[in-house]
Structure 1
């Protein structure tokens, strides 16, 4: 991770989000760090709060496809980014997973939020939309959530 990415991450961790203290989660990994645990042989159950937050993130990311295709303006796209940030904040606030699962989830949410902040800073940087998708792409490998397609068997 380069210096500017670390500065962005530190800024993200300092951002106040409703009902969330990122200081509570500062011990988790930064974007670019290795995933803390291999994918489990049996995916972990996702409780209702996690399913709700990740569903909201999934929907907003799907809607951002319209932005990438030029069918949505920047104002609407940034509204979707706000929805993603709020969903992540809700997940952080209700985070009640065992430590290994919590760490895996945070390894997804921290880079998701970094990409969201980068898109807010430069709405023309479409690569950040894909970076958000990439950040949560492994979610169905780890968590059993009916709202997300299970990964294909190798």
Structure 2
């Protein structure tokens, strides 16, 4: 029994250390991407695929459905937590399904890093509203750099 408990404890400690190391590496990667600037493809918008439109549209809908309450400071901490969880699910969908050419994908990662930073601020900052603003800014940049002919911008 003691041996099992010891092994379990060691595995738990190792997995925690590895998890924190991976998160730190991901944070560093996203920080570097976030510093990158979005650019056009020789003056043209980057191509998209269906999954990109779906994922970005779901992110937009989450923000748009809550925009009035966020804007008027009537969005609770619990609501921000739920919003962040939903936004993360949409980001995960994008990462799992988007199949863009490498150069377009690099631009998409630059844009999504801004969304991820917004989600991180919603989750961890005292100014959660600023996180939502960062996501709105990324949503406004999306149709400037990506050729999504079915995109309808947030009305605010």
Task: Give me the TM-score of the superposition, normalised by structure 1.
Answer: 0.69
Q: How far apart, CA to CA, are the structure 1 residues paired with 2:30 and 2:127?
A: 32
**CA–CA distance in structure 1, aligned partners of residues 129 and 64 of structure 2:** 14
Q: How do 1:7-18 residues align onto structure 2 when only pairs under 5 Å count?
A: 11=24, 13=26
**1:96 to 2:109 alignment:** no
Gap regions ≥5 residues in structure 2: 1-22
8 Å contact from structure 1 (residues 67, 77) kept in 2: no
Contact 1:67 1:74 in 2 (8 A): no
How many residue pairs match? The answer is: 128
- Cα deviation, 1:69-110, whole Å, max 9, x if unaligned, reads 133322122212211111111111112101111011110101
Cα RMSD of the aligned pairs, angstroms, is 2.6
In structure 2, C-alpha distance between the alignment counterparts of 1:67 and 1:136, rounded to whole Å: 16
Gapped runs of 5+ residues in structure 1?
1-9, 15-25, 150-154
- The structure having more radius of gyration, on CA atoms, is 2
Q: Could you tell me how far 1:132 is from its partner in structure 2?
A: 1.5
Structure 1 pair 12–129 and aligned structure 2 pair: CA distance change class (3 A): farther
